[in-house]
Amino acid sequence: MLGFSSIGFVALIFLFLLKEGLPVFFEVKPANLLGTRWYPIFDFFGTLPLILGSILVTVTAIAIALPLGIATAVFVREVSPGWLRDILKPMIEVLAGIPSVVLGFFGMTLIAPLIRTKLGMPTGLSAFTGALILAYMALPTIISVAEDALDAVPKSYRDAGLAMGATHWQTIWRVVVPAARSGIVTAVMLGLGRAIGETMAVMMVTGNAARMPLSLDSIFRPVRTMTATIAAEMGEVAQGSTHYHALFGIGILLFLLTFLINLAAATTIFKKRRRGGLR
């Protein structure tokens, strides 16, 4: 019976999000919901700036974390000697354990001023700062899943590559990494899921201005993400008001987004398992 509880909880979570969030679709016109202005006090519930804000921060974060994460996974798994691996892996686990509010605090007090002064920006609390911190929060996930994927590549593949006269380096990039491709894609998906749902750190360092991030320099300007909006405003809204329903509506959107991302990641995992090929 207990095993079924997890299905129950997922259903329950979705049910309660729907229960509290669906009314917003009746109370607010669709044109307003998809508008470009989020000013709940004046009944403007345009979620577009929040969605774009989330996308901007998340995509930038993954753009930073992806090359770093894969390079690190390859280095730890394929290049580094055993003793170094024994130091590096626990360090990366430590990064996974640091609470997001601590990273947010660190970003606010140390990284944001650094970005303001060194890069000459008007403010350090920007999408870029958020993306930087998010990248490091997604890194442990990306590294460990990618490393597992590399680990699952059979030794015979490596031997065959080396036997063909390829150097170790060529074997890594032309044989091992392509063979681990599906696992690496999963790693990126899981990192993406983690980044898009992250709340506290993002809320503390992105400046929280709900404006459309459309100009080229918007990466260095404040943005507001979906998660930060919920966390910042839920404490102050009257229960049952339109604003309250709208925040739950954003929750539904987040739930569905992570659900889809995760489903995509999971199907690659299940497909691999059923094929019985790589482990």
Partner 1 sequence: MTDRFNCRRGRLRYITQKIGYVGLGLATMLVILPILWVIGTIIGRGAPAINWQFLTEMPRQGMKTGGILPAIVGTLLLVSGTALAAIPIGIGGAIYLSEYARDTWLTRTIRLAILNLASIPSVVYGLFGLGLFVLFLGFGTSILAGCLTLAIMTLPVIISAAEEALRAVPTEFRTVSASLGGSRWQGIRNIILPQALPGIITGVLLGLLRAAGETAPILFTVAAFYLPRLPKSIFDQTMALPYHLYVISTQVPGMPVTIQFGTALSLLILVLSMNTAATIVRNYFRRRRQW
Q: Which 49-88 positions form the footprint of partner 1 (CB under 8 A)?
A: 67-69, 71-72, 74-76, 79-80, 88
Nearer to partner 1, 34 or 170 (CB): 170
Instruction: Of 134, 66, 137, give the one whose Cα is nearest residue 95.
Output: 137
Phi, psi of 39 (to 5 degrees): -130, 80
Nearer to partner 1, 36 or 162 (CB): 162
Nearer to partner 1, 215 or 239 (CB): 239
In the complex, the smallest distance separating the C-beta of residue 4 from partner 1, rounded to whole angstroms, is 7
The C-alpha atoms of residue 125 and residue 107 are separated, in whole angstroms, by: 9
Binding residues for partner 1 restricted to 82-121, rule: CB under 8 A? 88, 90-95, 97-106, 108-110
Alpha helices (H) along the chain: 2-21, 23-27, 30-33, 48-74, 82-97, 100-106, 112-118, 127-151, 155-163, 168-171, 177-179, 181-197, 200-205, 226-233, 242-275
The 10 Å Cβ neighbour count of residue 266 is: 13
Max CA distance (Å), the chain: 70
In the complex, the smallest distance separating the C-beta of residue 70 from partner 1, rounded to whole angstroms, is 9
Q: Which residue has the tokens 């899981």?
A: 190
Site pattern 125..154 for partner 1 (x: CB under 8 A): -----------x--x---x-----------
The C-alpha atoms of residue 227 and residue 200 are separated, in whole angstroms, by: 8
Out of 122, 235, 275, 276, name the contact with partner 1 by CB under 8 A. Answer: 235
Binding residues for partner 1 restricted to 6-45, rule: CB under 8 A? 6-7, 9-10, 12-13, 16-17, 19-20
Residues 6 or more apart from 230 whose CB is under 8 A from it?
199, 247, 250, 251, 254
Stretch binding partner 1 (CB under 8 A), from 26-34, 114-122, 161-169, 179-187: 161-169
What is the distance of C-alpha 110 from the center of its chain?
22
What is the distance of C-alpha 262 from the center of its chain?
11
List b or e across 188-200, with b for residues whose CB sees 16 or more CB atoms inside 10 angstroms.
bbbbbbbbbbbbb
Nearer to partner 1, 127 or 139 (CB): 139
In the complex, the smallest distance separating the C-beta of residue 34 from partner 1, rounded to whole angstroms, is 21
Nearer to partner 1, 56 or 246 (CB): 246
Q: Which residue has the tokens 């930038």?
A: 60
Nearer to partner 1, 36 or 258 (CB): 258
Q: Does 176 bind partner 1 (CB under 8 A)?
A: no
Nearer to partner 1, 46 or 191 (CB): 191
Out of 258, 264, 272, 278, name the contact with partner 1 by CB under 8 A. Answer: 258
Size of the site for partner 1 (CB under 8 A): 79
In the complex, the smallest distance separating the C-beta of residue 178 from partner 1, rounded to whole angstroms, is 16
